[in-house]
Amino acid sequence: MLDTTFDQKKAEAFSESMVDILNKSAIALGLSIGSRCGLFEVMATLPESTSMRIAEAANLNERYVREWLGTMVTGRVVNYVPETRTYKLPEEHAKYLTNEGDYNFATGMQFVPVLANIEDRLVDCFHNGGGVPYSAYPRFHEVMAAESAQTVVAGLEPFIIPLVPGLREKLEAGIEVLDVGCGSGQAMIELAKRFPNSNFAGYDFSEQSISRAQSAAESDGLKNVRFEVRDAAAIGETEAYDLITSFDAIHDQAKPAAMLAGISKALKPDGTYLAQDIAGSCHVEKNLEHPIGPWMYTISLTHCMTVSLAYGGDGLGAMWGEETAVRMLGEAGFANVSVNHLDHDFMNTYYVATK
Ligand SMILES: C[S@@+](CC[C@H](N)C(=O)[O-])C[C@H]1O[C@@H](n2cnc3c(N)ncnc32)[C@H](O)[C@@H]1O
């Protein structure tokens, strides 16, 4: 009997979209490799050039560069002139693939191999439960720091500080600030440089990140910033800070409720908690139009959720959603919570909370 419900056109369209995904996943890996090899920065400065000239300028092996250029040309990232065998990265593309431009997507593409690297362990978790700990991701903190340099550090002065009325004036006068889950500490270092009358602290449980943060603060000669290896779920301080921040650091905690309660306790009664975390809804159907829904669920699966589960945690995941965030902030003692979106950082929501 003929299956009359089978839609042949729908099947063909899906098959074409699979081919598209295959190609785009390959381009994503190529963008990551190009980013790590410095090829976009070099090509942005070169005129139309042969693969030999590009390889020499980047100090790389020509055969590898030429094969990589094949992906970039067929992926429509780089232009190619067959007559002269020359390649050119268009200015309009360089704007989104180098640190000189508006936003460097090639940096973010480095998450693809960083996360794919733990696939075997993740598949094992599908069968046996448990999680993959932070220590299994050798380059995570490095790539995270490069990404948050674009969204957090670059956005502090023009967009993030203005979210809290009067914050700039308070920072200028001198206040106590703590960043929880500070990673490589770039946000606090940036603020410590700009506001010498205020004191800044950063806590993270990653020894590698804290040592990187301490070295950076030391080489900048900063005396008003300190970094400590500490568990965010056990801050253990009372009414010590005027401002506490966390950047992309709640949803992947093992014990996010304990972290939020500790932050609430550590804030002075009139203090402010400013939290950046992934934008989205806790309802999957509401994320269908999310511009990077599949990307965020995949980052969550391959990192945020599993690292939390690895420490016996809640496994909230990156798509815990604004609904859950607002509820948990309320439960932690924050009576007023505003939910903000900033144009420069469409991946995140910014919560401003007071007790
Ligand atoms: C997604 S990263 C964000 C890092 C940094 N805020 C940034 O924007 O670059 C989350 C950070 O939370 C830290 N973290 C996770 N669980 C923690 C815990 N229980 N105590 C302290 N830090 C924790 C991780 O080590 C990591 O640096």
Q: What is the CATH number for 349?
A: 3.40.50.150
H helices of the chain, where? Answer: 8-36, 39-45, 51-58, 62-74, 91-94, 105-109, 111-116, 119-128, 140-148, 167-173, 186-194, 207-219, 256-266, 293-299, 305-310, 321-331
How far is residue 200's CA from residue 302's CA, in Å, rounded to a whole number? 32
What does the pLDDT read at residue 4? 77
| 94 and 137 in a common domain | no
Residue 107 lies in a domain: no
Closest-CA residue, ligand 1 atom 24, reads: 181
Atom of ligand 1 nearest to the CA of 308: 16
What does the pLDDT read at residue 3? 66
Q: Which residues in the chain show pLDDT less than 50?
A: none
How far is residue 177's CA from residue 202's CA, in Å, rounded to a whole number? 9
**Contact predicate 35/27, CB 8 Å:** no
For residue 78, the CA-to-ligand 1 centroid distance in Å is 36
| 64 and 166 in a common domain | no
| 92 and 204 in a common domain | no
Q: Computed from CA positions of residues 334, 191, 160, 248, in that sequence, does the dihedral angle turn out positive or negative?
A: negative
Residue 238's DSSP bridge partners are none
Residue 86 lies in a domain: yes
How far is residue 12's CA from residue 9's CA, in Å, rounded to a whole number? 5
Q: How large is the C-alpha radius of gyration of the chain?
A: 23
What does the pLDDT read at residue 1? 59
| 281 and 327 in a common domain | yes
- Best substitution site from 139, 140, 144 to test ligand 1's pocket, by max atoms within 8 Å of Cβ? 144
How far is residue 274's CA from residue 242's CA, in Å, rounded to a whole number? 11
Residue 309 lies in a domain: yes
| 217 and 69 in a common domain | no
CB atoms within 10 A of CB 218: 10
| 340 and 275 in a common domain | yes
| 337 and 269 in a common domain | yes
pTM, rounded to two decimals: 0.94
Residue 62 lies in a domain: yes
Structure tokens at 141: 């903190």
Strands 241-247 and 176-180, how do they pair? Answer: parallel
Please work out whether the CB of residue 299 comes within 6 Å of at least one atom of ligand 1. no
Please work out whether the CB of residue 56 comes within 6 Å of at least one atom of ligand 1. no
How far is residue 178's CA from residue 262's CA, in Å, rounded to a whole number? 12
Choose the final residue of a domain: 99, 131, 160. 99
Choose the final residue of a domain: 64, 99, 134. 99
The CATH number that applies at residue 42 is 1.10.10.10
| 75 and 122 in a common domain | no
Q: Which residues make Cβ contacts (< 8 Å) with residue 176, sequence separation at least 6?
A: 198, 199, 201, 240, 241, 242, 243
Domain count, the chain: 2
- Best substitution site from 137, 150, 229, 248 to test ligand 1's pocket, by max atoms within 8 Å of Cβ? 248
Residue 2 lies in a domain: no
Domain region containing 192: 115-354
Residue 242 lies in a domain: yes
Residue 3 lies in a domain: no
Instruction: Tell me the three state secondary structure of residue 228.
Output: strand
| 293 and 186 in a common domain | yes
What does the pLDDT read at residue 317? 97
Strands 199-204 and 225-229, how do they pair? Answer: parallel
Structure tokens at 127: 């069968």
What does the pLDDT read at residue 102? 82
Choose the final residue of a domain: 99, 125, 141. 99
| 285 and 233 in a common domain | yes
Please work out whether the CB of residue 145 comes within 6 Å of at least one atom of ligand 1. yes
Residue 304 lies in a domain: yes
Sort 101 into a burial class: Cβ within 10 Å, 0-12 / 13-18 / 19+.
middle
| 122 and 95 in a common domain | no
| 62 and 195 in a common domain | no
Closest-CA residue, ligand 1 atom 12, reads: 181
